[in-house]
Amino acid sequence: MNLIDAPIVAETAYRHGVSVGDPTPTLDKLNRPLRDLRLSVIDQCNFRCTYCMPRDVFGADYPFLTSAQRLSFEQMVKLAKAFAQLGVEKIRITGGEPLLRRGLESLIEQLAKLTTLSGKPMELALTTNGSLLAAKARSLRDAGLGRVTVSLDAVDDAVFRRMSDVDIPVSRILEGIEAARAVGLAPIKVNAVVERGVNDSQILPLVRLFKGTGVAVRFIEFMDVGGAGGWSNTKVITARETREIVESEFPLVPIVIGQQMGTAVNYRHADGAGEVGFIASVSQPFCGSCSRARVSADGQLYSCLFATQGTDLRPWLTETASVEQLAVAVRSRWIQRDDRYSELRSTVRKPGSGKVYPTVRMSLVGG
Query: Does residue 359 bind ligand SF4 (CB under 6 A)?
Result: no
Q: Find the part of the chain contacting ligand SAM (CB under 6 A) among 122-130, 155-163, 181-189, 350-358.
A: 122-130
Contact by Cβ (8 Å): 334, 31: no
Instruction: Round to whole Å and give the CA distance between 94 and 145.
Output: 13
Stretch that binds ligand SF4, among 5-13, 62-70, 302-310, 313-321 (CB under 6 A): 302-310
Asked if 365 interacts with ligand SF4 (CB under 6 A), we say no
Task: Return the number of the residue (25 or 285) whose C-beta is nearest ligand SAM.
Answer: 285
Q: Is 35 a binder of ligand SF4 (CB under 6 A)?
A: no
Q: Interacting stretch for ligand SAM, rule CB under 6 A, among 169-177, 181-189, 216-224, 266-274?
A: 216-224
Nearer to ligand SF4, 35 or 340 (CB): 340
Q: Is 43 in the site for ligand SAM (CB under 6 A)?
A: no
Q: Is position 97 an interface residue for ligand SF4 (rule: CB under 6 A)?
A: yes
3-state secondary structure the chain: CCCCCHHHHHHHHHHCCCCCCCCCCCECCCCCECCEEEEECCCCCCCCCCCCCCCCCCCCCCCCCCCCCCCCHHHHHHHHHHHHHCCCCEEEEECCCHHHCCCHHHHHHHHCCCECCCCCECEEEEEECCCCHHHHHHHHHHHCCCEEEEECCCCCHHHHHHHHCCCCCHHHHHHHHHHHHHHCCCCCEEEEEEECCCCHHHHHHHHHHHCCCCCEEEEEECCCCCCCCCCCHHHECCHHHHHHHHHCCCCEEECCHHHCCCCCEEEEECCCCCEEEEECCCCCCCHHHCCEEEECCCCEEECCCCCCCCEECHHHCCCCCCHHHHHHHHHHHHCCCCCCHHHHHHHHCCCCCCCCCCCCCHHHHCC
Q: Does 160 bind ligand SF4 (CB under 6 A)?
A: no
Instruction: Report in angstroms how near the CB of residue 209 gets to ligand SAM at its nearest.
Output: 17
Closer Cβ to ligand SF4, 86 or 290, answer by number: 290
Q: How many residues lie near ligand SF4 (CB under 6 A)?
A: 23
Binding string to ligand SAM for residues 256 to 285, with x set by CB under 6 A, is what? ------------------------------
131 binds ligand SAM (CB under 6 A): no
- Taking CB under 6 A as the criterion, the residue among 50, 75, 85, 94 binding ligand SAM is 94
Residue with Cβ nearer ligand SF4 (166 or 183): 166
Piece of 69-77, 124-132, 170-178, 329-337 that binds ligand SAM (CB under 6 A):
124-132
Residues 231-260 that bind ligand SF4 (CB under 6 A): none
Span from 66-74, 94-102, 137-145, 347-355 in contact with ligand SAM (CB under 6 A)? 94-102
* Cβ neighbours of residue 257 closer than 8 Å, sequence gap 6 or more: none
C-alpha torsion 155→158→162→166, nearest 10 = 90
Site for ligand SF4 in 259-298 (CB under 6 A): 285-287, 290
Characterize the bridge pairing of strands 275-279 and 265-269: antiparallel
Residue 311 binding partner per list ligand SF4, ligand SAM, none, with a CB distance cut-off of 5 to 8 Å that depends on partner kind: none
Binding site for ligand SAM (CB under 6 A): 45, 51-52, 94-95, 97, 127-129, 151, 191, 193, 220, 222-223, 225, 228, 362-363, 366-367
Binding site for ligand SF4 (CB under 6 A): 45, 47-49, 52-53, 95-97, 129, 151, 285-287, 290, 304-306, 339-342, 363
